[in-house]
Amino acid sequence: MYETHYHRASSVDDAAALFAKGTDAKYLAGGQTLLPVMKQRLASPSDLIDIAKIEDLVGCEASGDTLTIRAATTYYDIMTSGDVAKAIPAIAHLTSVLGDPAVRYCGTIGGSIANNDPAADFPAALVALGATVKTNKRSISADDFFRGLFTTALEDGELITAVSFPVPAKAGYAKFRHPASRFALTGVFVARTKSGDVRVAATGASQSGVMRVGAIETALKSSWSAGALDSVTISADGLLSDIHGSADYRANLIKVMAQRAVAAAG
């Protein structure tokens, strides 16, 4: 059994200071990824810095044309937030189909995007909505934040504090869930900005993680309707192929999920 030191941080500055003192420290919020990895002995951090009770890292707030969700806010709190439901209901829906009740009560938005699992839901929302990730050091656009499988732009010890979403004119999310894990075999988030721009992002489909889907964006710019995608063909190049589905299957799922997301967005 390896030794791990547990710390409950009282503030963002306290968390950063505790991290700096550890030889191989990790931040702990919901623990939905880190704790199972530790149980399998795939990670053995010297220190766990619990950030879940830091008040400045919890809560959702809509102000003007921006929705801010702080990093340690649980999926359940996002799902049930009146501000989220009013500003971007597609995010509330996304959390309602994320994992199971146990995951939704414990998992956090900051933990999800910091881990950047290739089948996670929130990366697609961030990219499609053109969100900004805020840390204790800087602000990073979603387009620059996700760098590939389980890789982000975060530097060692950098702590996500919040995610800022521009409120779109319309947005929707649909995913085909793996029946056991409930991760996205393929999920698609669509968004139309108030200026008329369209952004579409898919998760669970690409070998490199979350991806923009240019062909669907182009079609929806011409006509925001599910029918506008009838003639669109998605290339299978660079898509995942495994026991759960071939690259061609996932290519078709991207189109079908996009159509469902557009229909849900209205």
Residue 31: CATH number of its domain: 3.30.43.10
Question: Where is the domain boundary, 125, 144, 166?
Answer: 166
Residue 1 has what pLDDT?
53
Question: Where is the domain boundary, 121, 148, 166?
Answer: 166
Residue 180 has what pLDDT?
85
* Amino acid, single-letter form, for residue 232: V
Q: In sequence order, which residues have a C-beta less than 8 Å from that of residue 147 and are 6 or more positions away? A: 116, 153
Same domain, 79 and 148: yes
Same domain, 41 and 67: no
Same domain, 23 and 44: yes
What count of Cα atoms within 13 Å lies in the side-chain half-sphere of residue 184?
Answer: 33
On whether the CB atoms of residues 127 and 143 are closer than 8 A, the answer is yes
Cα 170 to Cα 174: distance, rounded to the nearest angstrom: 14
Over its C-alpha atoms, the chain yields an Rg (Å, rounded) of 18
* Amino acid, single-letter form, for residue 217: E
Residue 170 has what pLDDT?
98
* CATH value at residue 156: 3.30.465.10
Question: Where is the domain boundary, 166, 201, 226?
Answer: 166
Same domain, 105 and 32: no
On whether the CB atoms of residues 116 and 204 are closer than 8 A, the answer is no
Same domain, 162 and 189: no
Instruction: Give how many domains the chain has, as a whole number.
Output: 3
Residue 181 has what pLDDT?
83
12: containing domain: 5-50
Task: Give Dmax over CA atoms of the chain in angstroms.
Answer: 59
Per DSSP, the three-state class of 178 is coil
Same domain, 29 and 81: no
Same domain, 139 and 183: no
Q: What is the pLDDT along the chain (266 residues), one digit of tens a residue?
A: 578 999 999 999 999 999 999 999 999 999 999 998 888 888 899 999 999 999 999 999 999 999 999 999 999 999 999 999 999 999 999 999 999 999 999 999 999 999 999 999 999 999 999 999 999 999 999 999 999 999 999 999 999 999 999 999 999 999 999 888 888 999 999 999 999 999 999 999 999 999 999 999 999 999 999 999 999 999 999 999 999 999 999 999 999 999 999 999 98
Same domain, 245 and 178: yes
- State how beta strands 139-141 and 25-28 pair: unpaired
Residue 2 has what pLDDT?
74
Same domain, 101 and 189: no
* CATH value at residue 200: 3.30.390.50
Cα 92 to Cα 77: distance, rounded to the nearest angstrom: 9
**What is the 8-class DSSP label of residue 213?**
-
Residue 247 has what pLDDT?
97
